[in-house]
């Protein structure tokens, strides 16, 4: 069994209460928080664009092709299923190497299928609770073994390992220059933190921030207080970012942690956003990012109010509430990122065809 950082079991501190019963099983997100793909499809007047959008959302970015107007990517039931198909494919690939790991991830697909079935307007808290429990299991019970994950060739395993190492600082120690006494000091080198594909930075709050005062002198100060709510929220976010990035693989900006991975059996490196040949215009990229963050804020707020309202969990269960609201918010963000990126990519492809421009 591989060594695990002591801080990881904190993820289970509040989540051990997940077995408690719930008086209310769903959060009503109402029409004002519509995450339905229809909001994108309504803007696509041509059937060929609708079919291409559906096909786009069913595949990760680096595996997409242009489908004919009468062809779309079917799920197991023979119907187009958009992002659920990309997620199903990811879990199937994980299953090839680690069947037990894939089985634990199945709850994510089930939760999304259930949420999609209500046009993303009612989120089942029982299923969301299971999602957070699975994340805890990956960190604590499945055994977060760096050596095992490093040998795992799946994109998800490599992203999860890299994101976690970056979040905790990707700590390395190097030998410094020799001194007059012949001793060589050891210096610590750390990363800036986990940087998501949009450039946002997340870092373990227990790490110190090194500030340069004078040449050759540094002052270390604590970044923020370590508490279970913050850690549960952050580790939930890191896990889901790795999962959905592995499934969708929308291009990342310069400096993103995903772009620093030395890929092994997974094949192609993670896609980067090429400003010289952008898959969507830069202003559209900014729009997708804003819309995704708004979705995260809205869903996080609604779920946070529900799980702190007294009818579901007691106010003493703040750690659990942090995990649930973060999970819901990040899932919403990643779905809107994926759908929005495909929408603008589909529009751009349509405009290129009209202008007679070949890709």
Indicate whether 3 belongs to any domain.
no
Say how far apart CA 195 and CA 74 lie, in whole Å.
Answer: 34
Which structural domain range is residue 291 located in? 8-354
Please check whether residue 296 lies inside any domain of the structure. yes
In percent, the amount of the chain with pLDDT more than 90 equals 40
Rg (CA), the chain: 22
Q: What is the mean pLDDT of the chain?
A: 79
Torsion of CA 300, 16, 310, 293, to 10 degrees: 0
- Torsion, CA 114, CA 76, CA 332, CA 261, rounded to 10: 140
Residue 256 has pLDDT above 80, yes or no: yes
**Torsion angle defined by CA atoms of residues 224, 16, 6 and 245, in that order, rounded to the nearest 10 degrees:** -70
With respect to residue 2, please indicate whether it lies within any of the assigned structural domains.
no
Task: Please give the pLDDT value at position 1.
Answer: 36
d(CA 350, CA 177): 59
Query: Which residues on neighbouring strands pair with residue 222, listed in sequence order?
Result: 208
The pLDDT confidence band at residue 16, using thresholds 50, 70 and 90, is very low
pLDDT tens, 200-214? 999 998 776 554 444
Q: Is residue 359 part of a domain?
A: no
- Asked if residue 138 is part of any domain, the answer here is yes
Asked which of 162-176, 215-229, 265-279 is least confident by mean pLDDT, the reply is: 215-229
The number of domains in the chain is 1
pLDDT surpasses 90 at 47: no
Over residues 64-87, mean pLDDT: 59
* 58, 73 Cβ separation under 8 angstroms: yes
- How do beta strands 194-195 and 184-189 pair? unpaired
What percentage of residues in the chain have a pLDDT greater than 70?
Answer: 73
Examine the pLDDT at 313 and tell me if it is beyond 60.
no
Check whether 180 has a pLDDT greater than 70.
no
Q: Which residue in this structure is represented by tokens 């708004």?
A: 294
Residue 90 domain-assigned? Answer: yes
- Residue 352 banded pLDDT, cuts 50, 70, 90: confident
Residue 224's pLDDT is 60
91-114 burial, b for 16+ CB within 10 Å, e for fewer?
Answer: bebbbeebeebbebbebbeebbeb
What pLDDT, on the 0 to 100 scale, is given for residue 238? 97
């Amino acid at each position: 069994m591989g060594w695990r950082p002591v801080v990881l079991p904190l993820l289970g501190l509040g989540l051990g209460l997940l077995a408690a019963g719930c008086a209310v099983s769903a959060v009503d997100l109402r029409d004002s928080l519509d995450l339905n793909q229809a909001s994108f499809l309504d803007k696509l007047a041509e059937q060929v664009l609708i079919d291409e959008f559906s096909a786009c959302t069913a595949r990760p970015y680096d595996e997409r092709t242009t489908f004919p107007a009468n062809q779309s990517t079917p799920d197991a039931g023979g119907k187009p299923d958009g992002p659920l198909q990309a997620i199903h494919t990811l879990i199937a690939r994980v299953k090839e190497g680690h069947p037990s790991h894939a089985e634990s991830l199945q709850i994510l697909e089930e939760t999304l299928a259930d949420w999609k079935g209500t046009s993303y307007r009612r989120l089942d808290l029982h299923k969301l609770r299971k999602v957070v429990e699975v994340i805890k299991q990956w960190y604590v019970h499945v055994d977060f073994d760096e050596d095992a994950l490093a040998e795992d060739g799946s994109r998800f395993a490599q992203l999860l390992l890299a994101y976690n190492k970056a979040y905790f600082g990707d700590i390395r120690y190097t030998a410094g220059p020799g001194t007059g006494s012949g001793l060589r000091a050891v210096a610590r080198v750390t990363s800036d933190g986990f940087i998501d594909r949009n450039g946002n930075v997340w870092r373990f709050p227990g790490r110190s921030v090194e500030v340069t005062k004078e040449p050759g002198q540094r002052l270390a100060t604590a970044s923020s207080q370590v508490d279970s709510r913050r850690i549960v929220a952050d580790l939930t976010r890191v896990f889901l970012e790795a999962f959905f990035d592995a499934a969708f693989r929308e291009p990342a900006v310069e400096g993103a942690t995903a772009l620093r991975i030395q890929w092994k059996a997974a094949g192609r490196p993670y896609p980067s956003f090429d400003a010289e040949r952008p898959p969507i215009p830069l202003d559209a990229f900014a729009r997708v990012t804003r819309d995704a963050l708004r979705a995260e804020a809205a869903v996080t707020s609604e779920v946070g109010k529900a799980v702190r309202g007294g009818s579901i969990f007691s106010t003493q269960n703040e750690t659990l509430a942090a995990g649930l609201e973060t999970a819901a918010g990040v899932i919403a963000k990643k779905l809107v990122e994926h759908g929005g990126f495909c929408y603008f990519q589909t529009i751009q492809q349509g405009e290129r065809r009209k202008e007679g421009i070949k890709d």
